[in-house]
Chains A and B, each alone.
Chain A
């Protein structure tokens, strides 16, 4: 049973489980908002509420899955910080997931087929874009490109569907992590957030008046 958190767009928190016998994936609770400005405010209540709705105590979880982006930095970090620290607190593994992978996985599971392009807002007139061509034998999404940044008016052409996502459901993050775990396919992603952009800095033009 996993707690799943994604703040790459709005804030989404879920508790998911995989039935050991049937292998069925279940979402026990999910709470979220598409508000992209209040991640730090809502994250605590959402975690508490998701656990309460699922009737699960922290010690009943086997790990924490977290969406690593891509997404706007400030909000993205809140979810990663929360997910990693919750995992630390319950002494269970933290499972990083590429947020776009979760969107693609849910789309194929719900009947989508063929090439898929997942697109999310990256601010500054850019999108974050990933390409997929389907699910593999273990039903994990096969990413063919990205995630990468593209100008909003110059997203690479796709022969398939384009999915513009405004929310990454944490249930998909958690279910994908459960699937990958039972398929022995972890890790699904690296531990580093998918910022896709170097930090903004204004290097100083230091002036040397003395040697």
Chain B
């Protein structure tokens, strides 16, 4: 096997994106994503069974498309990588079953990897600058909100904190719904917030009070914020007053962004790590990127944001992490691994 620049195909099915990516070492060759987002829109959130059914149908065509995009043959591959967790169990199992079969069919090793660490690995594919460690990583999507300390991508990742209730993306979806906006909520809230005053309403910042910081210094909570928005809107309606949608949307978004960036930059300062990496679909939020840039600049923290196509869930990041494991000389995963919906970040490879 080529251990200097292995050709790895990565399969990602942890949520509603069917991702198949191909990398050669740290070079991105293909990144094919089939999303079932539209099928979830009418339910206002990801429906696990709908996502799993969509993965099953999308996976084969995505593998074929990725091979064509990368201009390689299956026989050229050095290894197969797949997300073992965390994520939706039924969705993960489709990728796990397919990846094992693919690896066996071409007689190549398989690397079962951690989805969250994969988000960090995505940054390796940005050929401008290599990923530097240690780095703090803030991973924000509809399925997870996690703050990691990455000392070494393939051997030393620590969970600093995570959401104790809703993921940030989920908070956007739920608030969008209560404001009468469609799914997915992130871009809709963004649109509604145009021209709004982010300081118009002081919505609560979850787990930022001194008493919370003891036990939940780097944890997040968004369910209280969602309730606060709902109550604020209801009170306005009960009083017969108009609801200033732009102000509500901008103030809500500001509360989310403030907590996310505040805790991430805080971790950089407190741990003495002058690097912050963003990942996850919520990175698409322009206000999050803007505030992160401002505060990282002010704190002397180098901020890295991979291209959006590598921030949302994708197979290329899984392939990239798999390639790192190969390059670091790690043994392949034993074939008996399963889907682990709560896989801890400390388990980089299963």
Chain A contacts to B: CB under 8 angstroms: 38-45, 47-48, 51, 57-58, 73-74, 77-90, 193, 195, 199-204, 206-210
Chain B contacts to A: CB under 8 angstroms: 42-45, 47, 49-50, 52-53, 55-56, 59-60, 63-64, 74, 89-90, 92-107, 110, 177-180, 233, 237, 243, 245, 335-339
The CA of A40 and the CA of B93, in the complex, are separated in Å by 6
Contact of B338 among A40, A79, A193 (CB under 8 A): A40
The CA of A40 and the CA of B179, in the complex, are separated in Å by 40
Q: Which residue of B lies closest to A45 (CB)?
A: B335
The CA of A210 and the CA of B74, in the complex, are separated in Å by 53
In the complex, chain A residues whose CB is within 8 Å of the CB of B237: 209
Q: Which 7 A-B pairs have the closest CB atoms?
A: A89-B105, A204-B44, A208-B180, A44-B100, A44-B335, A199-B49, A82-B101
Given A41-B337, A81-B97, A90-B105 contact (CB < 8 Å): yes
Query: Does A78 lie within 8 Å of B335, measured CB to CB?
Result: no
Q: Which residue of B lies closest to A207 (CB)?
A: B178
Contact of B90 among A41, A43, A77, A203 (CB under 8 A): A77
Query: Does A81 lie within 8 Å of B98, measured CB to CB?
Result: yes
State the Cβ distance, B40 to closest chain A Cβ, in Å.
Answer: 9
In the complex, chain A residues whose CB is within 8 Å of the CB of B179: 209-210
Question: Can you report 5 residue pairs joining A to B where beta carbons are below 8 Å apart?
Answer: A38-B338, A81-B95, A85-B63, A85-B98, A209-B178
Query: Does B233 lie within 8 Å of A88, measured CB to CB?
Result: no
Query: Does A47 lie within 8 Å of B102, measured CB to CB?
Result: no
In the complex, chain A residues whose CB is within 8 Å of the CB of B60: 84-85, 88
Query: Does A74 lie within 8 Å of B180, measured CB to CB?
Result: no
In the complex, chain B residues whose CB is within 8 Å of the CB of A89: 74, 101-102, 104-106
Given A38-B338, A210-B245, A199-B50 contact (CB < 8 Å): yes
The CA of A138 and the CA of B319, in the complex, are separated in Å by 47
The CA of A208 and the CA of B176, in the complex, are separated in Å by 10
The CA of A32 and the CA of B233, in the complex, are separated in Å by 57
Query: Does B53 lie within 8 Å of A81, measured CB to CB?
Result: no
Q: Which residue of A lies closest to B236 (CB)?
A: A209
State the Cβ distance, A8 to closest chain B Cβ, in Å.
Answer: 13
Query: Does B90 lie within 8 Å of A74, measured CB to CB?
Result: yes
The CA of A82 and the CA of B59, in the complex, are separated in Å by 11
In the complex, chain B residues whose CB is within 8 Å of the CB of A39: 93, 97
The CA of A126 and the CA of B61, in the complex, are separated in Å by 34
State the Cβ distance, A201 to closest chain B Cβ, in Å.
Answer: 5
Q: Which residue of A lies closest to B104 (CB)?
A: A47
In the complex, chain B residues whose CB is within 8 Å of the CB of A81: 55-56, 59, 93-95, 97-98, 101
Query: Does B338 lie within 8 Å of A88, measured CB to CB?
Result: no
The CA of A82 and the CA of B237, in the complex, are separated in Å by 53
State the Cβ distance, B64 to closest chain A Cβ, in Å.
Answer: 7
